[in-house]
Amino acid sequence: MTIRRALLAALLATVTVGCGAAEGSAKPGEPEVKELRYQGNAGSVTFPELAAELGYLGDVKLKWVGNTTSGPQDIQSAATGQTDFGGAFDGAIVKLKAAKAPIKAVIGYYGSDEKSFNGYYVKDDSPIRTARDLIGKKIG
């Protein structure tokens, strides 16, 4: 899996609820939404942050509104319009749907099957290929 495909899959692996863009407001070929409000995770880089930093989001910008305390809190913030997307484990998503939240899209991103995992990602031309290649390196 290429980095671009992995990051795109990770970015799409969120629950999207109540995005505020008007239908049909963008020109053909342009994203309707130019800014996405989101919550980060203290002490870590989220997949959307990584994708934005590497330029995979194009003209779409992320607007950090604070840090989440948990997956359920993150998707609740999306359901109430405080953020544009959130992520959580599948059980929290099912509970959100059962509560009749206005969910627009769901993609499970961890805990769904034996092929789902979190990992470290590097650019295609990086000399780092395995965990052993990290020995003696600084990660920041």
Model confidence pLDDT, tens digit, residues 48-88: 999 999 999 999 999 999 999 988 899 889 988 999 998 88
**10-residue stretch averages of pLDDT, the chain, 140 residues long:** 54 48 60 88 89 92 94 89 88 86 73 63 88 81
| Domain membership flag for residue 102 | yes
The pLDDT score that the predictor gives to residue 87 is 86
Residue 50 located in a structural domain = yes
- Please report whether residue 109 resides in a domain: yes
Three-state DSSP at 4 gives helix
The pLDDT value recorded for residue 21 is 41
Question: Is residue 139, in this structure, part of any structural domain at all?
Answer: no
pLDDT of residue 7: 52
Query: Strand, coil or helix: what is 91?
Result: helix
Q: In DSSP terms, which residues pair with 61 in a beta bridge?
A: 35
**Which residues, at least 6 apart from 111, have a Cβ–Cβ distance to it below 8 Å?**
89, 90
Residue 69, in any domain of the structure: yes
Nearest residue to 46 via CA among 84, 79, 86, 15: 86
CATH code of the domain covering residue 68: 3.40.190
Q: Taking phi first (over 0 means left), then psi (-120 to 50 degrees means alpha), and beta for anything else, what does residue 111 get?
A: left
Assess if residue 27 is contained within a domain. no
Containing structural domain, residue 87: 3-20+32-134
pLDDT at 22: 40
Position 110 in a domain:
yes
Q: Is the pTM of this model over 0.75?
A: no
If one counts the domains in the chain, the total is 1
Residues in Cβ contact with 80 at an 8 Å cutoff, skipping those fewer than 6 apart: 18
Look at residue 25 and tell me if it is in a domain: no
User: Can you say whether residue 101 is alpha, beta or left, with left for phi > 0 and alpha for psi between -120 and 50 degrees?
Assistant: beta
Range 9-24 burial, b when 16+ CB lie within 10 A, else e:
ebbebbbbbbbeeeee
Would you say the C-alpha torsion 70, 106, 30, 53 has a positive or negative sign?
positive
pLDDT of residue 105: 78
pLDDT at residue 47, rounded to an integer: 85
